[in-house]
Amino acid sequence: MYLGVDCGTQSTKVVVVDVDRGHVLGEASRPHALTEGANGRREQAPADWIAAFRGAFGDVVARSGIEARAIRGIGVSGQQHGMVALDHWGEPVHPAKLWCDTETAPWNNALVERLGGDAGCRDKLGLVLQTGYTASKLAWLRETHPDAYRRIDTLLLPHDYLNFWLTGERISEAGDASGTGYFDTRRRCWRTDVFAAIAPELDAERVLPRLIDSHEPAGRVRPALARELGLADDVVVSSGGGDNMLGAIGTGNIAPGIVTLSLGTSGTVCAYSPEPLYAANTLAANFCASSGGWLPLICTMNVTSATNRVRELFGLDLMAFDERVAGAPIGAEGVSVVPFFNGERVPMLPQASASFLGLTSHNTTQANLCRAVVEGATFGLRYGLEQLGGLAADAEQIRLIGGGARSRVWRQMVADILGTPVICPVITDAAALGAAIQAAWCAQYPHASLEDLCSRLVHLDEGSLATPHPDSVADYGQAYERYRRALADHYGDACA
């Protein structure tokens, strides 16, 4: 048995899988609180992640009917980019600033300039720094909270922090490290010179975690914690990784030809590449994969976070919201939504806001507003998919994950807007499943291949398949052009 953990923005999810039989035996989750500020602040207490893990772990063991001692390995997926700065005793010096935090946008702009602009960033890092990456968070902490900054002894990402709590080891791997902003994504190593430009008072050799390969274990569960959880005393903890990287593993996206698209709080589109991405495009992030190779990726900030705002505004449950979306025509009778409630990363507009456009006395209906926000979030993902160029253009199938993937209406919309067949894995919370698969890979390496493990555990839900309808593809094409014109009118060259 192997345990997969996904520490996301809204909750920590846990799954238990039986690798030999290819079965998921149980799932559970516990929610997190989120601290938000009008200036773009998005923070969480790392202690909440541990409390959520403990609760979800107990739930999943009880529901699956297994003995905790049967678990041989644990893999941890975590929300990317979050800054977890710890003091000498392993306690946070400040709440964790999250991937969706845009408070640090001015610090990011200054860092890009200091590193030589877009070209300098690509040369040093293989990508261009964006607001949300860990680098600008560290620069922000240095300037705004110098006392906390001076206490930093260890700098981790969320998944690194949970691994540290489980094992006592300060470890990271290339996939999640790719999103820090001080990691060379082409050579798979820390850029200590870039780190020194961000935090000159900190010793990178001492503060940054040791890098390991994705198939290597981070360590074993601490004996005292193993006894508390009822685990055996030799449980392996895998390298783990960022949620996007382990979500790719959990959808079988470990070879060219498949695109993974997530309809979560944010939206991500990624495609496996055996080589690093060399492109002038500043929006496609040349991240490493947590399976070897690379995982070029784009991330939009507003997907279910945007649709839920409109749904809750009208007091609708998910079923009623779906009915409203289905009850309005393609294009929402001229209503367009630019859904940048949290600012936006793709296009790079961290301080943007949302807009509802084209409203008239005729088309301002609940159904049109519901459909328009779902269309707007999906158009943003099409815009992002286009930034991946040939990696995505030749994809034969899109594997859809995240909470929004449960909606039949939304699945069909994605297929029609992207013009590509869409299907969901049976387990749509793919990051937790990917973490469990990676745990088995680490524990059994080199005797088990990742390809074999994915073939045994990643099952597709044939009933979720949505294929593009030619007439709908054409209608959505017109609505998308209207969306692109709205972006150009509001934001000009940033959306060219």
Q: How many residues does the chain have?
A: 496
DSSP string, 130-183: -BTBHHHHHHHHHHH-HHHHHT--EEE-HHHHHHHHHHS--EEEHHHHTTSSSE
Q: Give the separation between CA 48 and CA 32, rounded to whole angstroms.
A: 6
Q: Give how far Cα 118 sits from Cα of 112, 113, 131, 144, 191, Å.
A: 7, 8, 13, 26, 16
* Catalytic annotation, pick one of 48, 160, 243, 322: 243
Cβ atoms 53, 43 nearer than 8 A = no
Residue 148 burial class via C-beta count within 10 angstroms: exposed 0-12, middle 13-18, buried 19 and up: middle
Cβ atoms 340, 354 nearer than 8 A = yes
Q: Would residue 243 show up in a list of annotated catalytic residues for this protein?
A: yes
Reading the block at residue 103, the tokens are 């408070």
Q: Helix, strand, or coil here: 380?
A: helix
Residues 96, 100, 103, 108, CA torsion sign: positive
Cβ neighbours for 27, distance < 8 A, ≥ 6 positions apart = 13, 14, 15, 16, 60, 63, 427, 429, 432
Whether omega for the bond prior to residue 106 falls within 30 degrees of 0, making it cis, is: no
Q: Provide the β-strand partners of residue 13.
A: 6, 29
* Closest to 321 measured CA to CA, from 310, 329, 330: 310
Reading the block at residue 331, the tokens are 């294009």
- E strands in 329-368: 336-338, 355-357
CB contact burial 113-134 (16+ within 10 A = b; e otherwise): eebeeeebbbebbbbbbbbbbb
* Rg (alpha carbons) of the chain, rounded to whole number: 22
Q: Which helix (H) or strand (E) holds 236?
A: strand 236-238
Active site residues: 243
